[in-house]
Amino acid sequence: MKVAVLGFGTVGVGVYEMLRNARCLEAGPVLVRPGKDDAPFKVTSIEQIAEDPSVDAVAEVMGGIEPAFTYGAAVLRAGKHFVTSNKALVAAKGIELNAIARENGAAFLFSAACGGGVPFLHNLSIARETDEILSMGGILNGTTNYMLDAMQRLGLDYEDALKDAQRLGYAEADPTADVSGLDALRKIMLACAVAYDKLPAEGLLHEGIESITAADVAHFQARGYTCRLLAKGSRAGDSVSAYVEPVLLRAGAPECAVLENYNMASYLGQCSGSIVLMGQGAGRYPTASAVVRDLTCIQRGKKYMLEPGCAHTDADNSQVKHAYYVRLPAELAGELPAESAELDGDVVRMITKPISVSQMHFTAARVRSAEASIFFAAIGG
Ligand code: HSE
């Protein structure tokens, strides 16, 4: 199977090298921006790939929704299989691409878009055929895990931890999606689509790590907690619950052992019980390995991860409740029901009574709209 590659950045170079070394795959042309076509295998127009009868499949690793969507639709309409590592693309346009693929008898797989090298969506798409997926989620962003680990274990400050994650190639070109939790949210959206045939589009909640301070880390570290950014998804009546937020975990919780850029993705099956998968969730070769794994799955007859009936839905995050650690200005402490609270200068550090995910996230948005600073993390395992 001859594979064209769209994009020649961190992951694109890895995919191309793996294709060159693969036994049953052949490296085809690589689409690059005009001016970068300095080698015989590089081309600058999607037509050169869509109209090339020798190309069987296309791997998209450019990122962004456009022109990735237009290019993906074009090659699928030309009957070529399409695999992508692009979570923004699949979260926004996955249902459309899946329909175009099915109309044209071409395959559409995207397991590299969630968990990097960790075969999470791959396993989920198989497990859901015979088991009921009760819940799923985990550490799905390598950048923020690297940063939280470096802040807590190495004592780095936020900016230095982010610079290191960027230098190591974990962060997106614009790291806002990583640190805000949006990247992890897109990944759990894809997991919901695969497991439940529902791609949540509205009502999603994501809190990242942008407002964490060294004082927060010192406070919960002294009390035996480790902070991790967790994504969670589950059924909620006819809808799904899907959100991302920092969580404080007691020593011994498996997520505490997830260091550096590693991801830990898990699902709870009615029959299987808890299944946990761990590996590198970001970086050149881990992500490239997932792209190439999808291509070999196509060779073995797997064509889709989304059912034809997969549809957009509104998420419902009002049913799940947790206690939260919250740091906010002392004068705003009355915004939340406190189980316990400590005054620390002009801020209060409190543990709330159990409240819904939506109440916590909406309260934080209200506090921030008053130009005040707040950090919160659910109290987990
Ligand atoms: N920026 C992403 C991360 C890359 O840090 O996890 C892999 O999706």
> What beta strand segments (E) does the chain contain?
2-6, 26-31, 42-43, 57-60, 81-84, 108-109, 133-139, 198-202, 205-206, 225-236, 239-250, 262-269, 273-280, 311-314, 321-322, 324-329, 338-344, 347-352, 355-356, 375-379
Type of residue numbered 249: L
pLDDT at res. 283: 86
Testing ligand 1's pocket by substitution, the residue of 84, 176, 183 carrying the most ligand atoms inside 8 A of its CB is 183
| Dist CA 99 CA 276 (whole Å) | 31
For residue 282, the model assigns a pLDDT of: 85
Tokens in use for 345?
A: 């200068």
Whole-angstrom Cα distance, residue 50 to residue 16?
A: 18
Residue 66 Cα to ligand 1 middle (Å) = 19
Instruction: Report, at the CATH architecture level, how domain 120-314 is classified.
Output: 2-Layer Sandwich (3.30)
pLDDT tens digit sequence for 265-278: 999 999 999 999 99
- The token pair at 135 is 């819940």
Cα separation, 145 vs 377, in Å, equals 15
Q: ∠ CA(248), CA(116), CA(29), 5° rounding?
A: 160
pLDDT digits (tens, 9 = 90+) for 186-201: 999 999 999 999 999 9
Ligand 1 atom nearest to 184, measured from its CA = 6
Residue nearest atom 7 of ligand 1, based on CA coordinates: 282
In the structure encoding, which two tokens stand for residue 13, read together?
């170079």
Q: At what angle do helices 87-103 and 182-196 cross, to 10 degrees?
A: 30
Domain boundaries defined on the chain: 2-109, 120-314, 321-379
Q: What token pair was written down for 316?
A: 């419902």
Tell me the C-alpha distance between 276 and 298, whole Å: 25
DSSP classification of residue 306: S
For residue 262, give the nearest of 63, 85, 118 by alpha carbon: 118
Please work out whether the CB of residue 165 comes within 6 Å of at least one atom of ligand 1: no
Query: pTM for the complete prediction?
Result: 0.95
| CATH class of the domain defined by 2-109 | alpha beta
Q: Which CATH class is domain 321-379?
A: alpha beta
Distances (CA, A) of 153 to 160, 255, 345, 381: 14, 14, 26, 20
Q: Is the CB of 143 within 6 Å of ligand 1? A: yes
Give, for ligand 1, the residue of 170, 229, 285 to mutate: max count of ligand atoms closer than 8 Å to Cβ: 170
Q: How far is the CA of 282 from the centre of ligand 1 (A)?
A: 5
Per-residue pLDDT of the chain (381 residues; tens, 9 = 90+): 999 999 999 999 999 999 999 999 999 999 999 898 889 899 999 999 999 999 999 999 999 999 999 999 999 999 999 999 999 999 999 999 999 999 999 999 999 999 989 999 999 999 999 999 999 999 999 999 999 999 999 999 999 999 999 998 888 878 999 999 999 999 999 999 999 999 999 999 999 999 999 899 999 999 999 999 999 999 999 999 999 999 999 988 999 999 999 999 999 999 999 999 999 988 899 999 999 999 999 999 999 999 999 999 999 999 999 999 999 999 999 999 999 999 999 999 999 999 999 999 999 999 999 999 999 999 995
Lookup result for tokens 């693309």 = 89
Atom of ligand 1 nearest to the CA of 113: 8
Question: Phi and psi of 138, rounded to 5°?
Answer: 130, -160
Q: For residue 376, how many other CB atoms are within 10 A of its CB?
A: 24
Q: Give the per-residue pLDDT at 133.
A: 98
